């Protein structure tokens, strides 16, 4: 089978045109094309008056060898890659060490799933609740301003990704196609099949709930075990002959769970656990992240700006965007986690603090588009001193936002026109913010650092030229967005173990090795492989799996 990439056709082409385009591209006769399947479909909207669909297709031909020889120097016509996943080991009736997985977000779920599929019967610990109970607690904050610090947008089954747009694409370059394994497991667990072919697939919150439950059912059927409301309060470490090695964990009930293989797949909001790990001597270093606000525009404005006369086309759906600007004060401002047709949500996990995030359903049919509008910061310049200084900065900004919002979990908000003019907002205009439990109109310059305000004002003017209406005076910014990524890295070596604590496998977003659902899940697969090979005494095989490790 051969794969053709970057095959472009008009947006409104007839179905039979694709087969004709394949034959024309390969310079073959109709009888020589046996069949084809669409492996990926995206679009090129750089010219909104002439949007092109961009296909990747797999074709079966009567004489594949002859065609491949004809195009041997054409990188857009190649043999179809083998995307099948191969386990590094398979164990039957495993009675040895049961690995522990801490965290049931996207990364932890895939560490647990792959270990279970290999036969190791993992124990998965999570401080939160099962996803449907967690959803009720999350709505408690959104509807009644009641926060459960252990069960919310950040903590519980599915992790922070459960209450998001459910984007399933990333910038990772994956020579083993582990992303295909992730997507296939998602479909098996209830995700729509089109995520296998769309260039920018997403699931949406409600479908994520069902999918997370499907993965749990598979893990349990394979002998894995979940333990909910089991917050890890201590890491047990034995030091002998100059080497530190994990022996297990202690949870908040006082129970000790022994294991010499612990995958620590925390979310980036597990601040108390980060502090515990640092206190136990685990090597942690600060990492850059970003701060800012959520910005909202009517989705119709974004559709028109991106797609012009093609706005509303069923193939295109709700438009998104990704923009960035390097400012004159040396800062970079960019859009983050854009949620078409969604809403801004309360994402705090600590009392007396306000943090925002974005969320969309699968339909992306809500009135507003929202995105993080954030400024990149780094440890040396913005939070020097110790590994957890970035967390201190996050908390300080979230406390300011809590007070500015009214000390009741409402969020501070401001119209862009007022933000640019340097005056507080006192009333809403054309754009109605979606944040629940509500907003308090104020001056965000009193919440954010001065360098961020200066950079954001400059970037708004630039972005308004790129996307018509982006800097509209009535567009609304809601603060604060502080949990863009982990402010720390639990540094690991090439064997995926902590630099100074054997048997501890830092994984995913909280450990500083992923950014989003798909990349976190892929990292989870890699960590599961490392754990498995360590258990059976063959860690040397890791290098043969992916030389770039």
pLDDT in tens, 335-391: 999 999 999 999 999 999 999 999 988 888 899 999 999 999 999 999 999 999 999
**Segment 480-494 mean pLDDT:** 97
Peptide bond into 437 cis (omega under 30): yes
Q: Which of 134, 126, 204, 101 is nearest to 523 (CA)?
A: 101
Torsion of CA 377, 285, 395, 479, to 10 degrees: 30
Answer yes or no: is pLDDT of 470 > 70: yes
Predicted confidence at residue 548, as pLDDT, reads 59
- What digits encode the pLDDT tens for the residues 107-118? 999 999 999 999
Predicted confidence at residue 33, as pLDDT, reads 96
pTM here is 0.95
- What digits encode the pLDDT tens for the residues 216-266? 999 999 999 999 999 999 999 999 988 999 999 999 999 999 999 999 999
Kindly tell me the sign of the dihedral angle through the C-alpha atoms of 185, 189, 193, 198.
negative
Strand order through the sheet with 33-44: 33-44, 52-61, 2-10, 77-79
Q: Which residues make beta-bridge pairs with 295? A: 371, 477
**Segment 103-126 mean pLDDT:** 97
Predicted confidence at residue 200, as pLDDT, reads 83
pLDDT band of residue 549 (cuts 50, 70, 90) is: low
Kindly tell me the sign of the dihedral angle through the C-alpha atoms of 157, 160, 163, 167.
negative
pLDDT band of residue 405 (cuts 50, 70, 90) is: very high
Higher-pLDDT residue of 327 and 545 is: 327
Kindly tell me the sign of the dihedral angle through the C-alpha atoms of 438, 441, 447, 448.
positive
- What digits encode the pLDDT tens for the residues 272-316? 999 999 999 999 999 999 999 999 999 999 999 999 999 999 999
Tokens (6 digits) for 102:
């801490």
The chain-wide mean pLDDT, for the chain, equals 95
Q: Which domains does the chain have, with CATH numbers?
A: 2-79 (3.30.70.2700), 100-285+488-545 (3.50.50.60), 288-481 (no CATH)
HSE-up of 406 (CA within 13 Å, CB side)?
A: 13
């Amino acid at each position: 089978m051969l794969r053709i990439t970057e095959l472009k056709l008009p947006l409104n082409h007839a179905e039979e045109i694709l087969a004709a385009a394949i034959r024309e591209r390969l310079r073959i006769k109709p009888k020589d094309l046996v069949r084809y399947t669409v492996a990926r479909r995206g679009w090129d909207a750089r010219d909104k008056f002439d949007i092109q669909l961009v296909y990747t297709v797999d074709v079966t031909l009567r004489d594949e060898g002859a065609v491949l020889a004809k195009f041997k120097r054409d990188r857009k016509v190649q043999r179809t890659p083998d995307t099948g996943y191969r386990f590094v080991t398979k164990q039957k009736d495993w009675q040895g060490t049961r690995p522990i997985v801490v965290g049931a977000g996207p990364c932890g779920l895939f560490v647990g799933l792959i270990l279970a599929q290999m036969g190791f019967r993992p124990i998965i610990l999570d401080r939160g609740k099962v996803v449907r109970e967690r959803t009720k607690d999350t709505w408690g904050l959104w509807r009644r301003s009641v926060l459960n610090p252990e069960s919310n947008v950040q903590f519980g089954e599915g992790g922070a990704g459960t209450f998001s747009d459910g984007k399933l694409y990333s910038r990772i370059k994956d020579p083993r196609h582990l992303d295909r394994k992730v997507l296939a497991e998602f479909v098996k667990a209830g995700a729509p099949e089109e995520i296998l072919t769309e260039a920018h697939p997403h699931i949406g919150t409600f479908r994520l709930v069902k999918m997370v439950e499907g993965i749990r059912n598979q893990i349990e059927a394979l002998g894995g075990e979940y333990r909910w409301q089991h917050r890890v309060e201590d890491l047990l470490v034995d030091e002998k002959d100059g080497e530190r090695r994990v022996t297990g964990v202690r949870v908040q009930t006082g129970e000790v769970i022994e294991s010499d293989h612990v995958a620590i797949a925390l979310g980036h909001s597990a601040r108390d656990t980060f502090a515990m790990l640092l206190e136990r001597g685990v090597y942690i270093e600060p990492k850059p992240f970003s701060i800012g606000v959520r910005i909202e525009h009517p989705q119709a404005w974004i559709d028109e700006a991106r797609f012009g006369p093609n706005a509303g086309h069923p193939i295109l759906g709700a438009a998104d965007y990704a923009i960035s600007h390097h400012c004159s004060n040396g800062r970079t401002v960019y859009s983050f986690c854009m949620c078409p047709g969604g809403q801004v949500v309360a994402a705090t996990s600590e009392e007396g603090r306000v943090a925002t995030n974005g969320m969309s359903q699968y339909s992306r049919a809500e009135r507003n588009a929202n995105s993080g509008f954030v400024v990149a910061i780094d440890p040396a310049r913005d939070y020097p001193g110790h590994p957890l200084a970035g967390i201190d900065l996050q908390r300080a900004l979230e406390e300011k936002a809590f007070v500015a919002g009214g000390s009741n979990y409402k969020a501070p908000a401001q119209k862009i026109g007022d933000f640019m003019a340097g005056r507080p907002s006192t009333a809403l205009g054309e754009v109605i913010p979606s944040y629940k439990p509500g907003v308090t109109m104020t001056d965000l310059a009193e919440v954010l650092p001065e360098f961020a305000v200066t950079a954001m004002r400059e970037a708004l003017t630039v972005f308004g030229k790129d996307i018509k209406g982006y800097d509209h005076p009535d567009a609304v910014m809601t603060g604060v967005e502080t949990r863009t990524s982990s402010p720390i890295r639990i540094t690991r070596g090439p064997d995926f173990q902590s630099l100074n604590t054997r048997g501890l496998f830092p994984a995913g977003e909280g450990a500083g090795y992923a950014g989003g659902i798909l990349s976190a899940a892929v990292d989870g697969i890699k960590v599961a492989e490392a754990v498995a090979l360590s258990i059976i005494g063959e860690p040397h095989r890791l290098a043969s799996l992916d030389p770039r490790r």
